[in-house]
């Protein structure tokens, strides 16, 4: 599925957004690992002395930290996409898109002449997605583009394309 051409010139806000996402995912990975380790200790499937759970004892923490940092540095590039929607550029999708997202528990966050931004309804769902639940639809001269988490964009893009497909008589 074609995406927009890669733009090699990044602006400061784009760099900051990427950096914040990377830091957020670093702490998210560390938190999830800590929860799993705590559950294993609670269920007595792991030793309560942390040094005995890892080869190398406490020295393993900086190695895990480096691993988490490497994964967190790459993850935003893999997890977020900007995809072209195969909908006629002349089609007005505003009302239909708002209803489409409302049916999927998303609310319209902001709207302008050529951009609509949606967020998931409910703080629990937003927390699970680490507040990275924003879906943006932008209208350009050559059509519509959708930006957000890869899984959500692919799912919603196919739904919108189906909803607004050209019907031949």
Domain 86-163: which topology? TATA-Binding Protein (3.30.310)
pLDDT value at 35 more than 80: yes
pLDDT value at 76 more than 70: yes
Q: What is the mean pLDDT of residues 56-64?
A: 87
Radius of gyration for the alpha carbons in the chain, expressed in angstroms and rounded: 21
pLDDT value at 7 more than 60: no
What are the residue boundaries of the structural domains of the chain, listed by start?
A: 12-78, 86-163
pLDDT value at 3 more than 60: no
Rounded-to-integer distance, Cα 2 and Cα 77, Å: 16
Quickly state the pLDDT bin for 58 (edges 50, 70, 90).
confident
DSSP state at residue 69: H
Tokens of 32: 């999830």
Higher pLDDT, 78 or 56: 78
Tokens of 41: 């200790």
pLDDT value at 166 more than 90: no
Which pLDDT value is given to residue 11? 85
Q: What is the mean pLDDT of residues 85-101?
A: 91
Burial bucket for residue 139 (CB in 10 Å: 0-12, 13-18, 19+): buried
CA quadruple 139, 142, 143, 148: dihedral positive or negative? negative
Rounded-to-integer distance, Cα 120 and Cα 110, Å: 13
């Amino acid at each position: 599925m074609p995406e927009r051409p890669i733009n090699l010139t990044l602006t400061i806000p784009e760099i900051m957004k990427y950096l914040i996402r990377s830091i957020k995912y670093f702490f998210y990975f560390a938190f999830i690992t800590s929860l799993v380790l705590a559950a294993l200790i609670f269920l007595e499937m792991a030793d309560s002395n942390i040094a005995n759970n890892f080869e190398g004892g406490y020295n393993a923490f900086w190695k895990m930290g480096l691993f988490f940092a490497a994964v967190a540095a790459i993850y935003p590039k893999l997890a977020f996409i900007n995809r072209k929607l195969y909908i006629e550029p002349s089609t007005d999708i505003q009302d239909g898109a708002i209803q489409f997202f409302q049916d999927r528990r998303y609310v319209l966050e902001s709207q302008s002449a050529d951009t609509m931004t949606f967020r998931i309804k409910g703080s629990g769902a937003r927390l699970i997605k680490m507040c990275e639940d924003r879906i943006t639809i932008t209208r350009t001269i050559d059509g519509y583009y959708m930006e957000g988490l890869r899984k959500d964009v692919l799912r919603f893009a196919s739904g919108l394309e189906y909803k607004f497909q050209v019907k031949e008589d």
